[in-house]
Amino acid sequence: MKQVLLVFLGGGLGSALRYLISKPLNIVLQNFFLGTFLVNIVGCFLIGIILGVSSKNNLLSPNSTLFLATGFCGGFTTFSAFAFEKHSFLKNSELFNFSLYTIASIAIGILAVALGLWISRLGN
Tell me: the pLDDT tens digits for 65-111? 999 999 999 999 988 778 888 888 999 999 999 999 999 999 999 99
CB 36 within 8 A of CB 105: no
Sequence ranges of the binding site: 74, 77
% of residues, the chain, pLDDT over 90: 69
pTM of this structure: 0.82
- Annotated binding-site residues for Na(+) read 74, 77
